[in-house]
Structure 1
Amino acid sequence: MRFDLTDLRLFLNVVEAGSLTGGAARSHMTLASASQRVRGMEDALGSALLTRHAQGVRPTEAGRTLLHHARVVLQQMERLRGELGEYGQGLKGHVRFLCGTAALTEHLPEVLARFLAQHPRVSIDLEERASPDTVEALRAGLCDIGIVSDAIDTQGLECHPFRRDDLVLVMPRGHALATRRRVMLADVVDDEFVGLPADSALQQLVTSHARTLARHLSYRVRVRNFEAVCRLVEQGIGVAIVPQTAAARCARTMKIARASLGDAWAERTLMACVRTSEELPLNARRMLEFLIAPQQDVAKK
């Protein structure tokens, strides 16, 4: 039985993606090539590694055993690349990173740009996930670092404050609540909303809390970024819930009103979380240190 690193990486990607198609794409393979490799692994083992179902694939008991060892081996290879990379330029490491909408669009781009400029041999797999999904992925060893809200149960993980990230309501200046400094979601639950796509992490958060009020928010339009959201709010299409940083930035050039959300879930700090920093590959450990450094220190690096 011989599985090479490409086999192990492919199998891990297939399980994480939940489908052969998704795993092939993450591995930069054609579907036919990925399917052939998985069949070859199953033939070599003499047992099925995946069960197929309508939504994709799941690992069998043998597949879960392989998955565990694949993570261990690939993590060890990342440590090897990081540590040997100190002695030469031939090895390249990568960091697996999950985060929510606000971190992805508002806080991470500048920080990651500085980090990557300083570490040209490191690449980053960055994926948007809701905080509960990120925590599950961290516990399962599916990523190195995750940025999550402090409202999420992170028991068993090592967590460090990253950025304050309160949510606010943005409204057209002529809105009935435009002069209020603080509102509750219940105050606007009957309004029409402008939002992000339904599968975005932030939108899932807002939707879940609307459900606790036994209400379903009405969206006039969904767009891909906070600038477009605020621009449509400015035009009177509806109200929106966005991070305070995005609202403040857009308010400099748009005619919108802002009010703090009084709901407890809207007051939050983003946390940089790992299973344990001592077990991180070198490049992931460096990134964690970079993320949690004081902002003025990061700017100097």
Structure 2
Amino acid sequence: MLYDLTDLQVFIAIADEGNVSRGAERCHLAASSASLRMKNLEEAVGVTLFKRQARGVTLTAAGHVLLEHAKRCLAQLEQMRADLVPYGQGMTGHVTVFANNNAISTHLPDDLARFFKAYPGVRITLEERLSHDIVGAVVDGRAEIGVVALESEHPALEFLPYRKDQLVLLTPIDHPLAGKGATSFASCLGQPFISLQSGAALHTFLMNHANALDGRLDVRVQVSGYRAIARLVASGAGIGIVPRTAIERSDRGRLAIVELVEQWAQRDLRVCIPKQPSEKNVYRDRLVDILCHFGKPPVVGRASSTG
């Protein structure tokens, strides 16, 4: 390779500034040195990257392509540096966890706090995904632990009980559905909904069930969390569906909670892990013990049995 990271940094700076001198100054170089680097870079890649003009420079079509790749490369290198920093600061391990929105918004924060108290040197990457996507990620090795709400299983994974929850309907206190002990999801479809944002697991889940009924969810407002759904429902803006455990005590007197009769409203959260993990990770196993034995003594020996 006939160019280096500094060449790419100078190229990006000049492209952003539209001027060789200002780009060179941003990189703490002389304009002549930056200009020479760009000449050598163009020779190395075999294309013209800049159109030289009296008042500055603009990118050619090839220059735009290189700019996109160069920014991506430098961003990945910066991420690599950031990922390595914790190891220099005493990090002893790392675990990747994929979980659905329900688990992340309710149970996982307290359980992870218990884990960090026991293992302060370990870092956890936690990402929200749909349950079906989580299963695929654990099978492929992109996640070491998954937290899902699925009845189906996968032959390569072990599924362990985590928490029981229930999706419930929230309505304003004076809403026609508020006086019912339970109602069907179909009876809700004609009402304006307060929903999580598109792409959230629960939003996709409810959209799919509405489609299965040949109906649609009339989404009036989309928000980022369950707390916002409860507050908007209490204000009379619409109705919403959330996990029962996500309802805060302060909200219970301001809105009505109605059970859904559908079987899918019962949300049994489970932890999934590989039956034969490709690599041993004792901290993964200890986190699984904390998640799956809440209030019970941890299982001794899981690290050796699954590692």
Q: TM-score by structure 1 length? A: 0.67
Map 1:1-301; keep pairs closer than 5 Å: 31-33=72-74, 90=90, 92-247=92-247, 249-252=249-252, 254-276=253-275, 280-295=280-295
Number of the residue aligned with 1:80: none
CA pair 255-277 structure 1, distance change in 2 beyond 3 A: farther
Report the Cα offset of residue 203 of structure 1. Answer: 1.1
Number of the residue aligned with 1:42: none
Report the Cα offset of residue 109 of structure 1. Answer: 0.5
CA deviations 1:15-42 (Å, max 9, x no partner) are: xxxxxxxxxxxxxx962336799xxxxx
Alignment check: 8 A CA contact 1:170 1:247 kept: no
CA pair 35-227 structure 1, distance change in 2 beyond 3 A: closer
Alignment check: 8 A CA contact 2:168 2:241 kept: yes
Moved over 4 A (4+): 34-37, 277-280
Report the Cα offset of residue 202 of structure 1. Answer: 1.2
Number of the residue aligned with 2:51: none
Report the Cα offset of residue 92 of structure 1. Answer: 2.2
Alignment check: 8 A CA contact 1:144 1:280 kept: no
Report the Cα offset of residue 251 of structure 1. Answer: 3.2
Report the Cα offset of residue 221 of structure 1. Answer: 0.5
Count the aligned residue pairs. 219
Residue type matched to 1:164 in 2? Answer: K
CA pair 132-234 structure 1, distance change in 2 beyond 3 A: same
Q: Aligned-pair RMSD on alpha carbons?
A: 2.4
Report the Cα offset of residue 282 of structure 1. Answer: 0.6
Where in structure 2 are there 5+ consecutive unaligned residues? 1-69, 79-86, 299-307
CA pair 36-168 structure 1, distance change in 2 beyond 3 A: closer
Alignment check: 8 A CA contact 1:189 1:217 kept: yes
Q: Structure 2: how far apart are the matches of 1:90 and 1:173?
A: 52
Alignment check: 8 A CA contact 2:167 2:241 kept: yes
Alignment check: 8 A CA contact 2:98 2:128 kept: yes
Q: Structure 1: how far apart are the matches of 2:248 and 2:296?
A: 20
Report the Cα offset of residue 141 of structure 1. Answer: 1.0
Alignment check: 8 A CA contact 2:156 2:275 kept: no
Q: TM-score by structure 2 length? A: 0.66
CA pair 168-91 structure 1, distance change in 2 beyond 3 A: closer
SS in 1 for 2:171: strand
Residue type matched to 2:186 in 1? Answer: A
CA deviations 1:151-195 (Å, max 9, x no partner) are: 344343101110001100000011111111111100111111001
Q: Structure 2: how far apart are the matches of 1:292 and 1:35?
A: 35
Name which structure has the greater RCO, CA cutoff 8 Å, separation 6+. Answer: 1
Report the Cα offset of residue 265 of structure 1. Answer: 1.0
Report the Cα offset of residue 277 of structure 1. Answer: 7.0
SS in 2 for 1:154: coil
